[in-house]
Structure 1
Amino acid sequence: MLKRILWLLTAFPAAALLITLAVANRHSVRLVLDPFRPETPVLSVVLPFYGFLFGALLIGVLLGGAATWMSQGRWRRTARVRTGEARRWQTEADRLMRERDAEVAARAKALAAPEKRNAA
């Protein structure tokens, strides 16, 4: 519950800030993608300025997430290897417990067998 409250306390001011930014920067801007003829561009995009700002923010978040994911690759690999080892050890422990239980049951059966004899 505390996590949700903290999220809401940060999300609402951030949303208000982004909405204010969008309203203040709603005029159209041309992004020229032709470096050789900027006065008569072949490739250009006309969007509101906040569109470019949000696009840059989105690209930054995606690139940051990708960089973090790639930098943590060795830890994910170590976790996979250790998980496999833990599963192998758990399988071995289960097998040994089954063998032990079978041996205990066999001993109990062997000990119980002489008691069933009749002295007649």
Structure 2
Amino acid sequence: MLKRIIWLLIAFPAAALLVTLAVANRHSVRLVLDPFRPETPVISVVMPFYGFLFAALLVGVLLGGAAVWLTQARWRRTARVRTSEAKRWQMESDRLMRERDADVAARAKAIAPPDKRNAA
């Protein structure tokens, strides 16, 4: 519950800041993607300035997430290997416990209680 409250205390001001930024920067801007002829570009994009800001934010989040995911690949691999080892050891332990229980039961049957008639 506390985690959710803290998240909301951060999310609402961030959302208000983004909306304010979008309203203040709603005029159209031309992004020229042709560095050789900027006066008559072959490729250009015209959209509101906040669109470029949000696109840059989105690209940054995606690149950051991809970078973190790639750098943590080693830890995910280690976790997979150790999980499979733990499962294998658990199955071995279960098998040995079944064998022990079967052995104890077989020994208990082999050592029959003395017959009451032959007891002296």
**Structure-1-length-normalised TM-score:** 0.92
Give 1:64 shift: 0.5
| % same residue | 81
Q: Does 1:92 align with 2:101?
A: no
Q: Does 1:40 align with 2:40?
A: yes
Please report the RMSD computed on the Cα atoms of aligned residues, expressed in angstroms. Answer: 1.5
Give 1:53 shift: 0.3
Q: Across the two proteins, how many residue pairs are aligned to each other?
A: 118
Q: Name the counterpart of 1:11.
A: 11
Q: Name the counterpart of 2:69.
A: 69
Give 1:82 shift: 0.9
Which whole-Å CA distance do the structure 2 matches of 1:7 and 1:108 have between them? 62
**Structure number having the greater helix percentage:** 1
Q: String of CA shifts for 1:61-108, please: whole Å, max 9, x gaps.
A: 110111111111111111111111111111110110010011011111
Give 1:7 shift: 0.6
Q: Name the counterpart of 2:52.
A: 52
In structure 1, what residue type is equivalent to 2:102?
A
Give 1:39 shift: 0.8
**Structure-2-length-normalised TM-score:** 0.92
Which whole-Å CA distance do the structure 2 matches of 1:10 and 1:46 have between them? 32
* Secondary structure of the structure 2 residue equivalent to 1:19: helix
Map residues 97-116 of structure 1 onto 2, 5 A cutoff: 97-112=97-112, 115=114
* Secondary structure of the structure 1 residue equivalent to 2:31: strand
Which sections of structure 1, spanning at least 5 residues, go unmatched? none
Which whole-Å CA distance do the structure 1 matches of 2:114 and 2:37 have between them? 105
In structure 2, what residue type is equivalent to 1:104?
V
